[in-house]
Amino acid sequence: MCGIVGAVAQRNIVSVLIEGLRRLEYRGYDSCGVAVLAGGEPKRARSVARVADLDEQVRETRLEGVTGIAHTRWATHGAPVTDNAHPIFSRNELAIVHNGIIENYETLRDMLRGKGYEFISQTDTEVIAHLIQSLYSGDLFAAVREATGHLHGAYAIAVLHKSQPDTVVGARQGSPLVVGLGEGENFLASDALALAGSTDRFMFLEEGDVCELTLEKVRVFDRDGKPAARDVRQVAAYGGAVELGPYRHFMQKEIFEQPRAISDTIPQSDVFDASLFGETAPKAFAEIDSLLILACGTSYYSGLTAKYWLESIAKIPTQVEIASEYRYRDSVPNPKSLVVVISQSGETADTIAALKHAQSLGHKHTLSVCNVATSAMVRMTELSFLTHAGREIGVASTKAFTTQLVALFVLAATLGKMRGNISAKQEADYIRQLRHLPAALNSVLALEPQIIAWSEEFSRKENALFLGRGLHYPIALEGALKLKEISYIHAEAYPAGELKHGPLALVTEAMPVVTVAPNDALLEKLKSNIQEVRARGGQLYVFADADTKIVNDEGLHVIRMPEHYGLLSPILHVVPLQLLAYHTACSRGTDVDKPRNLAKSVTVE
Ligand code: AGP
């Protein structure tokens, strides 16, 4: 999704800005651009192709400057055409880049038109550009501070003005922005990752902050217009670019990294201890009587899986909600409910807004399960549990999902233990099973050749059904999401028992029905559902545990999974679905790591 990089230096800064955009590319974008102050004027280059194209342009036109801003845009207001690409100018004096959405842009646009400002783009960003320009009287910092008071919605912005050649001003509300501190130069970015190689010292701006960067100084004012001190943090982990190695795509690499990612996420300790979730967790966990899980997309499905664990292991009532729905509905808050937000990026706008909403309703204890230690969500919650998936580049989430599942299983077992619902023997068994997971996953990954054979057939389909029951219904949902996301095949998932209540009407010989078949308490029920599909000529593709006795037959294609893995089985069963989606997408020739219309980190509502 949209990305920002900005810099004030004493050297030509264009290559740093372009490199920053390159590092943000994996998030998804449809146009990009860079502006610098050159010869006292703002000059820009913009492209509706890739950052590489922008790089070529700036080399050809010899665009150079010591103060600059750059952007990758994921279109919201206005098509991805050059006129809408950022930086956006106001009267050739001011340049701005913007992440987020301004909700009152129509009112502001009318007001600014009345003042004689001409609008060239269809973006809401141009409104901010003209608004700041209209308030400018020699102090960009002051003009931005005043302008932000008129903006409704979410934004992170970086602005420069021709009359202040050594200054970049930034502001944030609802979208992340971080200041990078250098020696005699300073930087701004929507993600610290963009500045790897330029600095490892960062100030994470807070909601409502406005900052001014000059060569030697960074000033920050808070939402009340008062000078604010923000901690400087050393973030060494933002090293070099992630290599693809022997893999064809990052998604494939990330699928195969799961044994390592899971083993890094499993706690070292031989016991489940509340302090794994933060210093105050033992007290907080003792005070709660239920859980409210909020998340989006794949992270929501990990929450749905966790509900089964939390209610069966910890016997604690658990509600799971799609963040974008929860934030806008009337709900009945329970201050004794632990709010759990789950997110790979920790920056998803809907989940952040849902968390804030829950906090505003009086929810006291909050926990984030997240893959990015420095993310907004981790900073906003009382407690946190970090997944150690490592950077996930592919838009389709894989290793982030399975590591979230590990984290949530640990949460369920910890609460189960605190509430006296698991014995010491049970605890030792769970720990042993967790530790054996990486090896079990390796045996599932070894099924890849059989899955490739199936994917040839899937690549010729336009629809698919996914079935699962109980703990594995969210896994069917996740399998369907993976397939549609990267192969563009329409896929739906149902709890297998629901089939006869409607979707069975879709079953013909042309409809592949992917079925997740663990050897659990619902196996016999699932076998009946399988027969319902066979009787209608449907083609079943079943991932069956070795001990299920489901075997190949007419209309019944089976890939044998390892022995049943008990409550942790969903972590194994999702992997062949990831591989099926991946290889089907490869056969169809789609852009696997950057599927159309999607962004890695969804930082707008
Ligand atoms: C998964 O493959 C997705 N691309 C998407 O659903 C993602 O899980 C969702 O946008 C939430 O992201 P987060 O985990 O970073 O909050």
**513 C-alpha to ligand 1 centroid (Å):** 25
pLDDT tens digits for 496-507? 999 989 999 999
Alpha helices in 61-177 (DSSP H): 105-114, 125-135, 140-148
Determine the atom of ligand 1 nearest the C-alpha atom of 598. 4
Assess whether the C-beta atom of 345 lies below 6 angstroms from ligand 1.
yes
Looking at residue 605, its pLDDT comes to 76
Determine the atom of ligand 1 nearest the C-alpha atom of 601.
15
pLDDT in tens, 190-203: 998 899 889 999 99
Confidence (pLDDT) at 323: 97
CB 239 within 8 A of CB 193: no
Residue 395 alpha carbon to ligand 1 centre in Å: 8
Distance (Å) of CA 419 to CA 113, 416, 456, 522: 63, 5, 49, 27
Please report the pLDDT score of residue 222 as a whole number: 96
Beta carbon of 134 within 6 Å of any ligand 1 atom: no
Q: What is the pLDDT of residue 519?
A: 94
CA–centroid distance, 85 to ligand 1, in Å, is 25
CA of 266 to the centre of ligand 1 (A): 22
Residue 397 Cα to ligand 1 midpoint, Å, equals 6
Cα–Cα distance for residue pair 382/372, rounded to 1 Å: 16
Q: Of 456, 464, 504, nearest to 488 (Cα)?
A: 464
Task: Return the pLDDT at 600.
Answer: 84
> How many other C-beta atoms are found inside a 10 Å radius of the C-beta of residue 373?
14
Task: Measure the CA–CA gap between 547 and 461, rounded to whole angstroms.
Answer: 30
Confidence of residue 174 (pLDDT cuts 50, 70, 90): confident
Half-sphere exposure of 294 (CA within 13 A, CB side): 31
Question: Is 336 among the catalytic positions?
Answer: no
Q: Which of 2, 32, 211, 370 is catalytic?
A: 2
In the chain, what are the domains?
Answer: 3-234 (3.60.20.10), 250-443 (3.40.50.10490), 448-588 (3.40.50.10490)
Percent of the chain having pLDDT more than 70? Answer: 99
Atom of ligand 1 nearest to the CA of 482: 2
Cα of 344 from ligand 1 centre, angstroms? 7
Residue 240 clears pLDDT 90, i.e. is over it = no
Residue 237 has pLDDT above 60, yes or no: no
Count Cβ neighbours within 10 Å for each residue of 123-154 and write b for 16 or more, e otherwise. Answer: bbbbbbbbbbbbbbeebbbbbbbbbbebbebb
Q: What is the pLDDT of residue 1?
A: 75
120 alpha-carbon distance from chain centroid: 32
Q: Is the peptide bond before 87 cis (omega within 30 degrees of 0)?
A: yes
Ligand 1 pocket, residue 578 CB under 6 Å: no
Distance 557 CA to ligand 1 centre (A): 31
pLDDT on residue 253: 96
Q: One-letter amino acid identity for 577?
A: L
Confidence category of residue 4, pLDDT binned at 50, 70, 90: very high
For residue 350, give the amino acid letter: D
pLDDT at residue 478, rounded to an integer: 98
Position 604 scores a pLDDT of: 75
pLDDT at residue number 236: 67
What pLDDT is attached to residue 198? 92
Average pLDDT over residues 257-270: 95
Q: Is the CB of 480 under 6 A from ligand 1?
A: no
CA–CA separation, 518 and 573 (whole Å): 8
Residue 241 clears pLDDT 70, i.e. is over it: no
Mean pLDDT computed over 162-186? 95
346 CA distance to ligand 1 middle (Å): 10
Instruction: Please compute the mean of the pLDDT values over residues 450-475 and round it to a whole number.
Output: 96
State the average pLDDT over residues 141-153: 96
Mutation pick for ligand 1 pocket among 300, 326, 348 (CB with most ligand atoms within 8 Å): 348
- Across 218-308, where does the E strand assignment appear? 218-221, 233-234, 290-295
For ligand 1, atom 5, which residue shows the shortest CA distance?
A: 297
**244 or 55: which leads in pLDDT:** 55
What residue has token string 């409607």? Answer: 502
Atom of ligand 1 nearest to the CA of 396: 2
Mutate which of 294, 296, 324, 486 for ligand 1 pocket (most atoms within 8 A of beta carbon): 296
Does the beta carbon of 375 lie inside 6 Å of ligand 1?
no
Residue 302: phi and psi, rounded to 5, are -70, -35
pLDDT, tens only, 297-333: 999 999 999 999 999 999 999 999 999 999 999 999 9
The model's pLDDT over 384-421, given as tens digits with 9 standing for 90+, comes to: 999 999 989 999 999 999 999 999 999 999 999 999 99
**pLDDT tens string 565-585:** 999 999 999 999 999 999 999
- Taking residues 278-293, report their average pLDDT: 97
**What is the number of residues in the chain?**
605
Q: What is the pLDDT of residue 244?
A: 87
The mean per-residue pLDDT over the stretch 345-350 comes to 93
Cα–Cα distances in Å, from 52 out to 12, 56, 193, 521?
18, 6, 18, 54
**Two tokens, residue 1:** 């999704």
> Is the CB of 396 inside a 6 Å radius of any atom of ligand 1?
yes
* Residue 374 CB less than 6 A away from ligand 1: no
**pLDDT at 239 exceeding the cut of 90:** no
- pLDDT category, 25, cuts 50, 70, 90? confident
State the pTM of this model. Answer: 0.83
The pLDDT mean for the chain works out to 94
Does 382 contact ligand 1 (Cβ within 6 A)? no
Pairing type for strands 153-161 and 539-545 reads unpaired
**3-class state of residue 528 by DSSP:** helix
Predicted confidence (pLDDT) per residue in 150-166, tens digit: 999 989 999 999 999 99
pLDDT at 82: 94
Q: Could you tell me if the CB of 127 is within 6 A of ligand 1?
A: no
Closest residue by Cα to atom 7, ligand 1, is 297
- For residue 87, pLDDT over 80 is answered with yes
Nearest Cα residue to 2 out of 87, 115, 107, 95: 87
Q: Any catalytic annotation for residue 2?
A: yes
pLDDT at 238 over 60: no
Q: Would the CB of 387 count as within 6 Å of ligand 1? A: no
Answer whether 369 contacts ligand 1 (Cβ < 6 A). Answer: no
Catalytic residue among 307, 461, 482, 600: 600
Between the CA of 449 and the centroid of ligand 1 the distance, in Å, is 28
392 lines ligand 1 (CB under 6 A): no
Residue 138 pLDDT exceeds 60: yes
**What is the average pLDDT across 242-256?**
91
